[in-house]
Amino acid sequence: MATAERTATTNWEGDLAHGNGILSFASGATGDLPVTWASRTSRSEGRTSPEELVAAAHASCFAMALSHGLTEAGHRPDSLAVSATVTLDMDAGPKVSSSAISVEGRVPGIDESQFKELADEAGAGCPIGGALKGNVGITVDAKLVS
C-alpha cells in the first residue's frame, strides 16, 4: 500500500503575542484559516489553533477506527458522534497534555460493555492516537444511545 502524505502550510507575520498566521491545506478541503497566539490561550474569536486542529484530527481518526472495529466485530454502526478536546497546559511549558475523546454511538445489536471495549481499542489503535500515545494523556468516554 502506498504511503499517504498530506501538507498544510502557515504563513506567520509579527511576533508571537501580537502576530498572526494564515493556515492553508494543500488539499483545498477548507479555505484559509486564521491562527493567533490568543486563539491558543484565551479566546478563539473565529480563529483556530494547533490544538483545535489536533482535536479535529483525533476525532475524525477515532471515528474511522471505531467504525471499522465495530463493523469487523459484526456491529455496523448507524452513527457515531465523536468529539475530542485537546488541552494546552500552560503550567507545563506550554505543552499539549491531553486529548479527551467522547463518543455516542447508535449501534444495533451490541451491549454497552462491548461498545466501550471497542471504543477503548479505537482510542489506542487509530494512527493519530498512536502518534499522541506516550506524549499526551488519552481518555475515551463511550456511550450507546438508542
For each of the chain's 146 residues, which pLDDT tens digit applies?
Answer: 678 899 999 999 999 999 999 999 999 999 999 999 999 888 888 899 999 999 999 999 999 999 999 999 999 999 999 999 999 999 878 999 999 999 999 999 999 999 999 999 998 789 999 999 999 999 999 999 98
User: Quick one: CATH architecture of 50-144?
Assistant: 2-Layer Sandwich (3.30)
- What are the sequence ranges of the domains in the chain? 8-41, 50-144
> Which pLDDT score, from 0 to 100, does residue 65 have?
97
> Which pLDDT score, from 0 to 100, does residue 1 have?
62
Burial call 60-78: b when 16+ CB within 10 Å, e when fewer: ebbbbbbbebbeeeebebe
Q: What are phi and psi of 92, to 5 degrees?
A: -95, 5
Structure pTM?
0.92
> Which pLDDT score, from 0 to 100, does residue 76 have?
97
